[in-house]
Amino acid sequence: MLLKTVLHWFRRDLRVTDNTALFQAYSESERLVPVFCWDDAILRSPDVGAARVDFLLRSLHSLSRNLDSLGHRLVIRHGPPEEVLPTLAREAGASAVFVNRDYEPYSVARDARVEAVLTEHGIQLRSHKDRVIHEGREVLTRTGTVFSVFTPYSKAWKAKPLSWPAPRIGGPKAPAPSLGSLPLPESAAALGHPAGQSPCAAGERAGLELLDQFLEARVFDYDHGRNLLSEPNGTSLLSPHLRFGTVGIRTVLERLQSARTRTTTTVGQKSCDTWLSELIWREFYIQILANHPRVASGSFRPEYDQIQWRGTDAQFEAWCAGQTGYPIVDAAMRCLNATGWMHNRLRMIVAMFLTKDLMVSWQRGERHFMKALADGDLAANNGGWQWSAGCGTDAAPYFRIFNPVTQGQKCDPDGDFVRRWVPELKDAPADCIHEPWTRPLLLARSRYPSPIVQHDVQRGLCLEMFKAVKGASAESKSTPSSANE
Ligand SMILES: Cc1cc2nc3c(=O)[nH]c(=O)nc-3n(C[C@H](O)[C@H](O)[C@H](O)COP(=O)(O)OP(=O)(O)OC[C@H]3O[C@@H](n4cnc5c(N)ncnc54)[C@H](O)[C@@H]3O)c2cc1C
């Protein structure tokens, strides 16, 4: 029997197609009330910055238009969810609130509070798996424990059946109740984030277009293109969409499978498999955070919390501002600060530079990234930082230290990326642009800073710093496929 009225509470699933809980809410009820709740605990969090709020807001505008075109109306409220949802459910006469599960510690605690208050009022909270293909404890080792190494996790993940996209919801089956709703602000400034600008088009349609453009051709060259900074981008640029759920993961995998059947070349097929691997890294880190929420506030390997980080505040600030004197690091940081975006290879380079060359705690870098990135996501960001610092589940060994010069030469061989973001070096020739200090006259004319540390010297100091706390388990067996130097 159908429920009379239900709410669907949108969080990280801002789309009308392939949305598991939304489709269930629609199918199991006579009347569906879609709702979004502005939560100050998130909006005012020091970890939330303008690029992310801007992407969220523009995705909400798109969601609202998509619901309108289907005949539904998005109800917007503002306040603590444990107050807003029960109040709205009572106003609407709803007997259940549908949600897609979220695995971050804040969200898990928030949902438990919401569920407790709803239950007091005789209203159910019905949660569904949607953000991932395999969640929580669905992928386990033979002895029933959670994987902490990627390669066997990935193998076990692939051995399990995939799930397929949920259909798009249809139009209303009965007139919606009349409910008050706040207008959506036009810009992030109204939400306290004045400089807001996200790096790519937001919303469900834009996300699907991005996916299709990538799967049309670039995915077949992903193995090669993902490590270069040249245009067009060799990666999909889908991360803000996967972060906010403007594209569903089942849709992504279904279309990837179909793309893979269109290529007959080994290179093309291998590239498709590598891209799948990156999507599995995403789920790997989500399950690590869900099963080990302590990683949000400390190293996965606790001995690494004893490291005496030697870096100074001034060095950290120079890194944040893109003023370290290492062109690839500075270009990457300036690009991040201006656009809310950074390429994966650059994320690894600047994270290694902060933790290993400057010897500043990975957690300071993690926080700066969270605030600046449009795709800032606790699980992936924390995983990426712990991997780079060498203290994570499946981390790069602590003694693996990227050389920022050779890294720059490999991913930006002509220096075009550096010239774009470090205009002081716009006249530098390609053969020295990643080490301008080798041409003192050029450096003096450019007003670009000299390196704030010497890589070779720091390398030795860093190894000492890590060795002082290193446990026997410091080395791990695998690394993200995108990390080969
Ligand atoms: C220090 C550091 C911090 C990072 N912070 C974030 C973050 O806050 N949010 C975020 O989404 N990713 C983060 N990543 C992972 C990765 O850099 C981005 O997902 C990727 O750059 C996004 O670009 P894309 O969508 O074009 O990726 P593609 O190469 O096209 O990959 C497709 C998707 O796979 C997922 N993915 C790819 N690589 C990884 C990875 N190593 N870990 C987890 N998921 C991955 C992303 O959802 C991505 O959109 C971080 C990596 C590092 C090293």
* Best mutation site among 333, 375, 391, 411 for ligand 1 pocket (most ligand atoms within 8 Å of CB): 375
Residues 211 and 354 in one domain: no
pLDDT tens-place string over residues 136-178: 999 999 999 999 999 999 999 999 999 999 999 999 999 989 9
Q: Which helix (H) or strand (E) holds 76?
A: strand 75-78
Strand ranges across the sheet with 3-10: 75-78, 29-38, 3-10, 96-100, 124-128
- Angle (CA) 325-333-186 rounded to 5° is 150
Residues 335 and 466 in one domain: yes
Sign of the torsion angle spanned by Cα atoms 475, 476, 478, 483: negative
Residues 346 and 417 in one domain: yes
pLDDT band at 474 (very low <50, low <70, confident <90, very high): very low
What is the DSSP secondary-structure string of 273-298? Answer: HHHHHHHHHHHHHHHHHHH-GGGGTS
- State pTM to two decimals: 0.95
CATH number of the domain to which 147 belongs: 1.25.40.80
pLDDT tens-place string over residues 366-417: 999 999 999 999 999 999 999 999 888 876 678 889 999 999 999 999 999 9
Q: 315: closest CA among 300, 333, 297, 295?
A: 333
Residue 468 has which token pair? 């002082």
Residues 36 and 156 in one domain: no
Residues 336 and 435 in one domain: yes
pLDDT tens-place string over residues 169-206: 999 999 989 999 999 999 888 888 887 666 689 999 99
Q: Are 412 and 374 in contact (CB under 8 A)?
A: no
Place of tokens 């060795």: 467
The region that residue 258 occupies, defined by phi over 0 for left and psi between -120 and 50 for alpha, beta otherwise, is alpha
**C-alpha–C-alpha distance, residues 67 and 71, integer Å:** 6
Residue ranges making up the domain that contains 82: 3-131
Place of tokens 């299709």: 212
Other beta carbons less than 10 A from residue 344's beta carbon: 17
Question: Where in the sequence numbering do the catalytic residues fall?
Answer: 278, 281, 309, 344, 362, 385
pLDDT band at 230 (very low <50, low <70, confident <90, very high): confident
Please report the pLDDT score of residue 414 as a whole number.
95
Q: Are 421 and 430 in contact (CB under 8 A)?
A: no
Please report the pLDDT score of residue 206 as a whole number.
97
pLDDT band at 483 (very low <50, low <70, confident <90, very high): very low
CATH number of the domain to which 16 belongs: 3.40.50.620
Please report the pLDDT score of residue 366 as a whole number.
98
Residues 258 and 327 in one domain: no
Q: Which atom of ligand 1 is nearest to the CA of 237?
A: 26
CATH number of the domain to which 435 belongs: 1.10.579.10
**Rg for the chain, CA atoms, rounded:** 24
Q: Which atom of ligand 1 is nearest to the CA of 480?
A: 41
Q: Which residues line ligand 1 (CB under 6 A)?
A: 226, 235-239, 242-243, 278-279, 281-282, 285, 344, 347-348, 351, 369, 373, 375-377, 380-381, 383-385, 388, 480
- Total number of residues shown for the chain: 485
CA 395 / ligand 1 centre spacing (Å):
15
**C-alpha–C-alpha distance, residues 461 and 395, integer Å:** 20
Per the structure, how many domains does the chain have?
A: 3
CA 186 / ligand 1 centre spacing (Å):
29
Percentage with pLDDT > 70 across the chain: 95
Q: Which atom of ligand 1 is nearest to the CA of 285?
A: 43
**C-alpha–C-alpha distance, residues 130 and 104, integer Å:** 14
Residue 126's SS3 state is strand
pLDDT band at 481 (very low <50, low <70, confident <90, very high): very low
Q: Is pLDDT above 60 for 119?
A: yes
Percentage with pLDDT > 90 across the chain: 88
Range with lowest mean pLDDT among 8-17, 188-197, 363-372, 418-427? 188-197
Residues 6 or more apart in contact with residue 77 via CB below 8 angstroms: 35, 36, 37, 38, 84, 88, 181, 182
CA 434 / ligand 1 centre spacing (Å):
25
Q: 90: closest CA among 217, 205, 179, 206?
A: 179
**C-alpha–C-alpha distance, residues 320 and 370, integer Å:** 13
Q: Is pLDDT above 50 for 475?
A: no
Average pLDDT taken over every residue of the chain: 93
* Best mutation site among 211, 344, 355, 393 for ligand 1 pocket (most ligand atoms within 8 Å of CB): 344
Please report the pLDDT score of residue 469 as a whole number.
87
* Best mutation site among 218, 256, 282 for ligand 1 pocket (most ligand atoms within 8 Å of CB): 282
Query: First and final CA of the chain: distance in angstroms?
Result: 58
CA 482 / ligand 1 centre spacing (Å):
10
* Atom 52 of ligand 1, nearest CA residue: 384
Place of tokens 């109204």: 190
CA 350 / ligand 1 centre spacing (Å):
14
Residues 107 and 250 in one domain: no
pLDDT tens-place string over residues 242-276: 999 999 999 999 999 999 999 989 999 999 999 99
Residues 224 and 321 in one domain: no
pLDDT band at 471 (very low <50, low <70, confident <90, very high): low
Q: Which helix (H) or strand (E) holds 410?
A: helix 404-411
DSSP strand pairing (3-10 vs 124-128): unpaired
**C-alpha–C-alpha distance, residues 333 and 314, integer Å:** 16
User: Where among 266, 291, 316 does a domain terminate?
Assistant: 291
Please report the pLDDT score of residue 395 as a whole number.
65
Q: 232: closest CA among 247, 246, 243, 222?
A: 222
Q: Is residue 179 part of a domain?
A: no
Residue 400 has which token pair? 């693996």
Other beta carbons less than 10 A from residue 175's beta carbon: 8
User: Where among 291, 314, 336 does a domain terminate?
Assistant: 291
Residues 6 or more apart in contact with residue 17 via CB below 8 angstroms: 165, 166, 167, 168, 204, 248, 251
CA 283 / ligand 1 centre spacing (Å):
11
Please report the pLDDT score of residue 397 as a whole number.
78
* Atom 17 of ligand 1, nearest CA residue: 344
Please report the pLDDT score of residue 196 as a whole number.
63
**C-alpha–C-alpha distance, residues 144 and 446, integer Å:** 59
Q: Are 324 and 452 in contact (CB under 8 A)?
A: yes
Q: Which atom of ligand 1 is nearest to the CA of 385?
A: 1
Q: Which atom of ligand 1 is nearest to the CA of 239?
A: 49
Residues 337 and 454 in one domain: yes
Q: Is residue 91 part of a domain?
A: yes
Residues 393 and 474 in one domain: yes
Residues 83 and 49 in one domain: yes
Q: Is residue 178 part of a domain?
A: no
Q: Are 47 and 367 in contact (CB under 8 A)?
A: yes
**DSSP state letter for 439:** S
Q: Is residue 359 part of a domain?
A: yes
Range 441-462 average pLDDT: 94
